Chain A
């Protein structure tokens, strides 16, 4: 039995260790003050319905299944950890993961918007990472668009009868990648290229973000599967309650 605890310990230790080897550097959300005011407001407004839906979705889950609050806390913590780990990538620059795929798969995409915005506010205020003015845009890319894609891919892989864990891997990894695609498009919309307009500009931003992000997306997918393994082993009741595992 002790070995099982050791696994839990090892997982947390590995995550902590990974932090130690990562060189500190800036990262990737849209920087404070880098979006024109109109865009800041527009993205913020777009986020509001998702956040409201998320609030109600979380409330509903928690009133229905009181116990699942521990799992919810854990998915939130997962986002906290993953979005704080800046990992070196093949392009010679660092970026970090989003960690939102797990929450989207377990609690639905809108619920994650609440968890995501908490992390983004934390980073914007304390870390000068991302920003309060760009909070709307960053929330949309990381806590809304990414999770929506994750959930979509997870559901699709279910329909296509792909192995569940492979599906989860794809969902988390592609959701992570999509977050950066959205970020690129957001920047491109605000800074269309003089020749070629938004599309050219988007390709330019993508060229910066995407190659860095691909390996990280793979890591995020793998870590999400690891956490799911852990939960499936130790929290069957909760997962069944929130409808992730089928009864029986």
Chain B
């Protein structure tokens, strides 16, 4: 099987695994599993556990981080990561292209035959 086909199949599986719960479990809350973790802590200690330290950000802004801002910051994190990956990948792809042109194989190195070492 060609690498490209494999990559596409893998990505489709990834999307399916990620999306199916959303549709299969209608009305589920999809809260974080650390909330569930806190509940277990409460259950075991038999009471409402009070964390002894508040996250620095929450003490800076004097309250819980608003949901929208939290997702913004998560986006920033993703953005930084995707940015770097895309930049590096772009460079590598271009470099490959140039090397192939140099070695004079550019004409027939078709799109589909991505070689694996």
Report A's interface with B, CB cutoff 8 A. 1-5, 7-12, 14-16, 18-19, 21-34, 37, 70-71, 73-74, 76-95, 119, 122-128, 131-133, 187, 191-194, 201, 204-205, 208-209, 212-213, 215, 218-219, 222-223, 225-226, 229-236, 239-240, 245
Would A81 and B22 count as touching, CB distance under 8 A? no
Interface pair B33/A93, CB less than 8 Å apart: yes
A93 touches B70 (CB 8 A): no
Q: Are A92 and B56 in contact (CB under 8 A)?
A: no
Let me know if B54 and A208 touch, CB within 8 A: no
* B22 with A21: CB separation less than 8 A: yes
Q: Determine the distance from Cα of A128 to Cα of B64 in the docked complex, in whole angstroms.
A: 9
Consensus secondary structure, chain B interface = helix
> Complex: how many Å from CA A81 to CA B31?
20
Residues of B in contact with A, size category: 35 or more
- Cβ of B32 and Cβ of A93 under 8 Å apart? yes
A90-B25, A234-B93 given as contacts; is B34 within 8 A of A229 (CB)? Answer: no
Q: Is the CB of B30 within 8 A of A25?
A: yes
Q: Are B22 and A122 in contact (CB under 8 A)?
A: no
20 chain-A/chain-B pairs, Cβ below 8 angstroms = A1-B111, A3-B4, A11-B7, A19-B74, A24-B71, A26-B31, A28-B32, A28-B34, A28-B37, A31-B51, A33-B51, A77-B82, A77-B85, A82-B81, A88-B18, A92-B25, A92-B28, A93-B28, A94-B30, A132-B56
The chain B residue sitting closest to A27, CB to CB, is B32
List residues of chain B with CB within 8 A of the CB of A77.
80-85, 88
Closest to A131 in B: B55
A209 lies within 8 A of B90 (CB): no
* B18–chain A nearest beta-carbon distance, Å: 5
Q: Which residues of chain A have C-beta atoms less than 8 A from B31's C-beta? A: 25-26, 93-94
Q: By the criterion CB–CB under 8 Å, are B34 and A29 in contact? A: yes
Contact check, A194 vs B46: say whether CB atoms are below 8 A apart. yes
- Complex Cα spacing A232 to B24, Å: 36
Question: Is B6 part of the binding interface, using a Cβ–Cβ cutoff of 8 Å?
Answer: yes
Q: Are B75 and A127 in contact (CB under 8 A)?
A: no
Contact of A74 among B88, B111, B112 (CB under 8 A): B88
B74 touches A31 (CB 8 A): no
Please give the distance in Å from A247's CB to the nearest CB on chain B. 9
Q: Told that A8-B90, A84-B75, A90-B21 touch, could you supply 18 new A-B pairs with CB distance under 8 A?
A: A1-B106, A10-B11, A14-B14, A15-B85, A26-B32, A27-B33, A33-B53, A33-B54, A37-B52, A77-B81, A86-B74, A92-B21, A94-B33, A208-B39, A215-B17, A223-B10, A230-B89, A245-B117
Contacts of B80 in A (CB 8 A): 77, 80
Chain B residues with Cβ under 8 A from A76's Cβ?
84
**Alpha-carbon distance between A212 and B7 when the two chains are bound, in angstroms:** 25
**Centre residue among B3, B28, B37, B41 by max chain A CB count within 10 A:** B37
Residue of A whose beta carbon sits closest to that of B42: A191
Q: Among B44, B95, B116, find the residue whose CB has the most chain A CB atoms closer than 10 A.
A: B44
A27-B33, A84-B77, A93-B36 known; A1 and B53 CB under 8 Å?
no
Q: How long is the Cα–Cα vector from A71 to B91 in the complex, in angstroms?
A: 11
Q: Write out the residue numbers on chain B whose beta carbons fall within 8 Å of the beta carbon of A14.
A: 11, 14-15
Alpha-carbon gap, A84 to B21, bound state (A) = 19
B29 interfacial by beta-carbon distance below 8 Å: yes
CB–CB B78/A26 < 8 A: no
Q: Which residues of A contact B91 (CB under 8 A)?
A: 70
Are B77 and A123 in contact, with the CB atoms below 8 A? yes
